Amino acid sequence: MGCAPSIHVSQSGVIYCRDSDESTSPHQTAALSQGTAATLHGLFVKTDAADSIPSVLAYQSRQPPPCPGPRRQERREPAAAGRAGARRCCSSAEAETQTSHASVKQASTTEVQIGPMRLTQDPVQVLLIFAKEDNQSDGFWWACDRAGYRCNFARTPESALECFLDKHHEIIVIDHRHARYFDAEAICRSIRATKPSEHTVILAVVPCISADQEETSVLPLLHAGFDRRFMENSSIIACYNELIQIEHGEVRSQFKLRASNSVFTALDHCHEAIEITSEDHVIQYVNPAFERMMGYHKGELMGKELTELPKSDKNRADLLDTINMCIKKGKEWQGVYYARRKSGDSIQQHVRITPVIGQGGKIRHFVSIKKLCCTNENNKQLYKIHRDEKYAGDNSQAESHSFRCKNRRKESIDVKSITSRSSDAPSLQNRRYSSMARIHSMTIEAPITKVINIINTAQENSPVTVAEALDRVLEILRTTELYSPQLGTKDEDPHTSDLVGGLMTDGLRRLSGNEYVFSKNMNQSYSHLSVPITVNDVPPCIAQLLDNEESWDFNIFELEAVTNKRPLVYLGLKVFARFGVCEFLNCSEATLRAWFQVIEANYHSTNSYHNSTHAADVLHATAFFLGKERVKGNLDHLDEVAALIAATVHDVDHPGRTNSFLCNAGSELAVLYNDTAVLESHHTALAFQLTAKDNKCNIFKNIDRNHYRTLRQAIIDMVLATEMTKHFEHVNKFVNSINKPMASEETNSNSEGSDCECAPNVKNFPENQTLIKRMMIKCADVANPCRPLELCIEWAGRISEEYFAQTDEEKRQGLPVVMPVFDRKTCSIPKSQISFIDYFITDMFDAWDAFAHLPVLMEHLAVNYKHWKTLDELKCKSLRLPAENNN
Ligand code: AMP
Ligand code: ZN
């Protein structure tokens, strides 16, 4: 206590004068303030020596001590001060440690919270502007020390301004007591004229008023730019109290306000259009993205009051009420509405409106974030449509789409009120847009949603006739069966409707009871079969037949005959060898043979059509397709192996009945697979079960897990693709993704003379490879109308027989007859074949031929079709003309 100030060098190298006094009480502080003035003057550079010192002196606090509590005092010899030429200073660290129990800053930085932001406030900077040092300036100086503030001292208006512009002090104290040195108000004004001063609190130190003097108004000071008046009082604690009150009040508020600049910077750079309005919908802020989106300059919108919605349209008013009810309750609303740009274009926006609580705990702002509903490109087109297309009623329609600001002169729009209002064209149903709003609010947008949104937007800008046509389009798009042709017109041929109905429905009209009984050989084990022969050891008649295996005209029925209805194992071994399947799977021929045997054994030889000959036929077609350059060029070896395996197993354990039948009969399989892709699911699952059941026939046992998974996935995908309910989906996807891009590529490359066999992007897009594989197995599965006439007729006979048998059983069991035309007494097989070709085959093979180049198949198809047409024209219902039958 009462010790002379000591000098020390701070960590930053600044030389300070330290007051070592333990001024922990007002009394002590007061004593110090009076006592030190004289003491300190010894350290001061005298006024007459002012030329030799800078006009601005710095006081900087040190970082807080590492461990507050035990007092640390560094002392230096007073002489050091003189050597360093320092005037006077003191360590705030010292002050902190000395007065840690008092309301004095403990650390040089402070944590401040504003909303969700956490900030760190640096020590407050104070600028003292006093022409001459005296007790009062000392009082503030030491108060700064105590509070841990950084302090600068300036004597002249010029140096004060210069220092302020350099440091942007939070608090400035200006000596307003003596008019003779400088004009305090003029200094204040000059500082207030600078931008950084908007966040600075300026204090005027005024002389004490004596008892006989009148209290004067602070207004002149306020007008000059001062924020506060401080009545002269050189007590350090008085100065300290003043400073820390300012810090905790205005300085802290200003600090928070400045932090909000970062938020505005973020808003300014945000890609979404942002608008902030008052609770009365007066625009308070829009960001540059908003200006771009709406075509207005912010100056045109700021402060505009928004009009009330014309209540003419009931639906629109409903939506407005809904939105207002929502946001007025403090809840967020999001949805879609139409806004009008300055140019007059109407744009569809997805909007999210969030109410913000402010003064008085009330909603004081609405923050709207807006995005264009479709891509920029679409909006550009939309704008173009608007510019180019001027149709009748345009004005009235557009008028009803948006709501304008009261200030019509400037044509600024009421974006806020648009937010709260639906804005449909009168000709369109508003309800739809309300539900569209719900779709828009979904986070994950499905492609179909995007398509519907684009159409919706286009409707908004279309003449009534187009909008109505698009309504119809939307109706269609909203159905789930996008790829299924719709039947049911009166003039539809019953053969077609029965076939389509029979093949393309899962039979959700399932009746109870009447379990379908599977044929006896289901799940037959390979061990019941005779000892297998090797591929090199096949009987000569079979080997001879198989020599022709690569030809499309290969006769599978002859193979069926010579192999005693086991064509699959013989053809399979030959084909799989040709494609190096054993090498790929790293399995022996014996394993493969065992596998073929178990798979073939699980085809029902009692089925007239869906037996192992059909499987062998599909395998044959698949192998044939895989030999085509385009197919080969676009698939990998794994795809080839997967396709051959899929073809082999694709109808295993087929009961000779359709999915609809199984569902109607309430079969175990239909129950197991929930009436959905019942047979295809069963074929796939069973194939893998049979394969894994016994190591001897497990062709996958030697491939690694990853290969197996990829292969398995490909096989499952292909077998499931044979399900006819998805027929049109697969064909359409193939046409859109493969045929169409290929056609345009060919047009381009023809001019450049390219002969590339790769379909465009196939190699880059595995999904395109998947489409090719699906199409390939589908075509192989129903290739029988493209086989040579005799084979085609045989297949038609077999499938018809299987259908007849099903109808017979349905009648016997009292089940719904799925395909009534397939009644053996009445059916016209030619008609059914014509329908089948017309409906399922022609388009699909056109597309497949365009890709794989299959002229032979197309020729057969034409011949076969003609055959059926001829028979039909001759009113012949059987496979051949009676004369031929006799042959
Ligand atoms: P899958 O059951 O995998 O052979 O699928 C092919 C579908 O096409 C089956 O429902 C067959 O009944 C049907 N199908 C194949 N060829 C013909 C044909 N020539 N006439 C009528 N339907 C056929
Ligand atoms: Zn099949």
How many C-beta neighbours within 10 Å does residue 231 have? 12
Same domain (yes/no): 656, 592: yes
Same domain (yes/no): 670, 808: yes
CA dihedral sign, ordered 369, 373, 374, 376: negative
How many C-beta neighbours within 10 Å does residue 544 have? 11
Higher local confidence (pLDDT), 557 or 754: 557
pLDDT attached to residue 646? 98
Last-in-domain residue among 239, 263, 287: 263
pLDDT attached to residue 445? 56
Inter-CA distances, 704 with 593, 701, 710, 712, Å = 21, 8, 10, 12
| Residue 285 bridge partners (DSSP) | 276
- DSSP-assigned states of every residue in 826-871: T--HHHHHHHHIIIIIHHHHHHHHHHH--HHHHHHHHHHHHHHHHH
Nearest atom, ligand 1, residue 503 CA? 10
pLDDT attached to residue 777? 98
Q: Is residue 341 part of a domain?
A: yes
Mutate to test the pocket of ligand 1, among 497, 662, 799, 800 (most ligand atoms within 8 A of CB): 799
Same domain (yes/no): 359, 386: no
Sorted by sequence, the CB contacts under 8 Å of residue 768 that are 6+ apart come out as 634, 737, 738, 759, 761, 762
pLDDT attached to residue 407? 35
To the question of whether residue 48 is assigned a binding role by annotation, the answer is no
Instruction: Report whether 778 contacts 844 (CB < 8 A).
Output: yes
Q: Give the domain CATH number at 298.
A: 3.30.450.20
Q: In this structure, are strands 150-154 and 56-59 parallel, antiparallel, or unpaired?
A: antiparallel
Nearest atom, ligand 1, residue 795 CA? 19
Q: Is residue 754 part of a domain?
A: no
- Comparing 238-242, 535-539, 581-585, 871-875, the range with the smallest average pLDDT is 535-539
**Ligand 1 surroundings by CB, under 6 angstroms:** 503, 610, 650-651, 722, 724, 781-782, 784-785, 795-796, 799, 833, 836
Question: Is the confidence at residue 226, as pLDDT, over 50?
Answer: yes
Q: Is residue 490 part of a domain?
A: no
Amino acid at 224: A
Inter-CA distances, 645 with 525, 551, 603, 616, 663, Å = 19, 20, 15, 11, 27
Indicate the helix (H) or strand (E) that contains 204: strand 201-206
| Most confidently modeled range among 252-256, 484-488, 525-529 | 252-256
417 DSSP assignment: H
Instruction: Report whether 828 contacts 677 (CB < 8 A).
Output: no
Tokens of 589: 């021929």
Interhelix angle 612-626/567-578, nearest 10 degrees = 20
Q: Is residue 493 part of a domain?
A: no
Instruction: Report whether 17 contacts 78 (CB < 8 A).
Output: no
pLDDT attached to residue 751? 58
- pTM for this one? 0.51
- Comparing 544-558, 718-732, 760-774, the range with the smallest average pLDDT is 760-774
CA 687–ligand 2 middle distance (angstroms) = 14
CA-proximal residue: ligand 1, atom 2 (nearest): 651
To the question of whether residue 365 is assigned a binding role by annotation, the answer is no
pLDDT attached to residue 758? 54
610 is catalytic: yes
Report how far residue 305's alpha carbon sits from residue 22's, in angstroms, rounded to the nearest whole number. Answer: 61
To the question of whether residue 612 is assigned a binding role by annotation, the answer is yes
Amino acid at 870: T
For residue range 56-111, what is the model confidence (pLDDT) as tens digits? 555 443 333 333 333 333 333 333 333 333 333 333 333 332 333 333 444 478 88
Same domain (yes/no): 346, 229: no
CA 784–ligand 1 middle distance (angstroms) = 9
Ligand nearest the Cα of residue 830 is 1
Instruction: Report whether 148 contacts 240 (CB < 8 A).
Output: no
Last-in-domain residue among 217, 239, 263: 263
Amino acid at 201: V
Sorted by sequence, the CB contacts under 8 Å of residue 620 that are 6+ apart come out as 549, 554, 556, 571, 575, 780
Report how far residue 192's alpha carbon sits from residue 179's, in angstroms, rounded to the nearest whole number. Answer: 19
Mutate to test the pocket of ligand 1, among 503, 618, 658, 864 (most ligand atoms within 8 A of CB): 503
Q: In this structure, are strands 273-278 and 363-372 parallel, antiparallel, or unpaired?
A: antiparallel
Report how far residue 398's alpha carbon sits from residue 390's, in angstroms, rounded to the nearest whole number. Answer: 11
Q: Is residue 1 part of a domain?
A: no
Grouping H, G, I as helix, E, B as strand and the rest as coil, residue 112 is strand
| Residue 306 bridge partners (DSSP) | 405
To the question of whether residue 833 is assigned a binding role by annotation, the answer is yes
pLDDT attached to residue 884? 67
Sorted by sequence, the CB contacts under 8 Å of residue 793 that are 6+ apart come out as 864, 867, 879, 880
- Comparing 15-19, 289-293, 390-394, 572-576, the range with the smallest average pLDDT is 15-19
Q: Is residue 167 part of a domain?
A: yes
To the question of whether residue 781 is assigned a binding role by annotation, the answer is yes
Report how far residue 593's alpha carbon sits from residue 583's, in angstroms, rounded to the nearest whole number. Answer: 14
Altogether, the residues listed in the chain come to a count of 887
Alpha helices by DSSP H, listed for 212-360, are 219-224, 236-246, 252-269, 288-294, 298-301, 314-328
Sorted by sequence, the CB contacts under 8 Å of residue 590 that are 6+ apart come out as 532, 534, 696
Tokens of 793: 């007729």
Same domain (yes/no): 456, 602: no
Same domain (yes/no): 554, 652: yes
Same domain (yes/no): 410, 363: no
CA 110–ligand 2 middle distance (angstroms) = 77
Same domain (yes/no): 160, 284: no
N-to-C CA span, the chain: 135
- Comparing 77-91, 345-359, 497-511, the range with the smallest average pLDDT is 77-91
Inter-CA distances, 354 with 279, 332, 434, 752, Å = 11, 5, 19, 58
Q: In this structure, are strands 346-357 and 363-372 parallel, antiparallel, or unpaired?
A: antiparallel
Higher local confidence (pLDDT), 454 or 609: 609
443 DSSP assignment: S
Same domain (yes/no): 443, 467: yes
- The predicted model gives 28-38 an average pLDDT of 34
Same domain (yes/no): 277, 251: no
Report how far residue 488's alpha carbon sits from residue 496's, in angstroms, rounded to the nearest whole number. Answer: 10
pLDDT attached to residue 374? 52
Domain count for the chain: 4
Ligand nearest the Cα of residue 503 is 1
871: left (phi over 0), alpha (psi -120 to 50) or beta: alpha
Alpha helices by DSSP H, listed for 507-555, are 540-546
Interhelix angle 855-873/842-852, nearest 10 degrees = 160
Report how far residue 84's alpha carbon sits from residue 6's, in angstroms, rounded to the nearest whole number. Answer: 13
Instruction: Report whether 123 contacts 61 (CB < 8 A).
Output: yes
Instruction: Pick the catalytic residue from 495, 610, 620, 654.
Output: 610
Same domain (yes/no): 618, 722: yes
721: left (phi over 0), alpha (psi -120 to 50) or beta: alpha
Question: Is the confidence at residue 334, as pLDDT, over 90?
Answer: no
CA-proximal residue: ligand 1, atom 19 (nearest): 796
Report how far residue 659's alpha carbon sits from residue 669's, in angstroms, rounded to the nearest whole number. Answer: 9
Work out the pLDDT band at 802, boundaries 50, 70, 90.
Answer: very high
pLDDT attached to residue 330? 82
Q: Which domain holds residue 502?
A: 498-748+759-882
Grouping H, G, I as helix, E, B as strand and the rest as coil, residue 453 is helix
Cβ-based burial of 445 (10 A; exposed 0-12, middle 13-18, buried ≥19): exposed
CA dihedral sign, ordered 719, 723, 727, 729: negative
Report how far residue 418's alpha carbon sits from residue 346's, in angstroms, rounded to the nearest whole number. Answer: 11
**Residue 783 Cα to chain centre, angstroms:** 42
Report how far residue 746's alpha carbon sits from residue 737's, in angstroms, rounded to the nearest whole number. Answer: 14
518 DSSP assignment: P
Sorted by sequence, the CB contacts under 8 Å of residue 751 that are 6+ apart come out as none
pLDDT attached to residue 883? 73
The C-alpha angle 113, 115, 119, rounded to 5 degrees, equals 30
How many C-beta neighbours within 10 Å does residue 192 have? 14
Q: Is residue 887 part of a domain?
A: no
CA 544–ligand 1 middle distance (angstroms) = 30
Q: Is residue 27 part of a domain?
A: yes
Last-in-domain residue among 429, 453, 480: 480
Report how far residue 117's alpha carbon sits from residue 359's, in angstroms, rounded to the nearest whole number. Answer: 19
Which protein residues have their CB within 5 A of the ion that is ligand 2? 651, 781
CA 870–ligand 2 middle distance (angstroms) = 27
Q: Give the domain CATH number at 627.
A: 1.10.1300.10
Higher local confidence (pLDDT), 868 or 32: 868
Q: Give the domain CATH number at 182.
A: 3.40.50.2300
Ligand nearest the Cα of residue 723 is 1
For residue range 206-219, what is the model confidence (pLDDT) as tens digits? 998 888 888 888 99
Ligand nearest the Cα of residue 677 is 1
From 668, 680, 650, 686, select the one nearest 518 (Cα to Cα). 668
Question: What share of the chain has pLDDT > 90, as a percent?
Answer: 48
Instruction: Report whether 697 contacts 691 (CB < 8 A).
Output: yes
Instruction: Report whether 201 contacts 154 (CB < 8 A).
Output: no
Alpha helices by DSSP H, listed for 3-156, are 26-41, 78-84, 92-98, 135-147
- Comparing 255-264, 563-572, 626-635, the range with the smallest average pLDDT is 255-264
Instruction: Report whether 239 contacts 139 (CB < 8 A).
Output: yes
- The predicted model gives 703-729 an average pLDDT of 96
For residue range 397-445, what is the model confidence (pLDDT) as tens digits? 333 333 333 333 233 322 233 233 333 333 334 433 333 333 333 444 5
Burial 783-821 (b: 16+ CB within 10 A, else e): bbbbbbeebbbbbbbbbbbbbbbbbebbeeeebebbbbb
Task: Please tell me the chain's helix, strand, coil percentages from 3-state DSSP, rounded to the nearest 5.
Answer: 55, 10, 35
| Maximum alpha-carbon separation in the chain | 144
Work out the pLDDT band at 451, boundaries 50, 70, 90.
Answer: confident
Report how far residue 45's alpha carbon sits from residue 838's, in angstroms, rounded to the nearest whole number. Answer: 110
Burial 418-442 (b: 16+ CB within 10 A, else e): bbbbbbbbeebebeebbebbebbee
Question: Is the confidence at residue 714, as pLDDT, over 90?
Answer: yes
CA 582–ligand 2 middle distance (angstroms) = 24
For residue range 365-389, what is the model confidence (pLDDT) as tens digits? 889 898 886 544 445 444 444 444 3
pLDDT attached to residue 479? 63
Same domain (yes/no): 545, 442: no
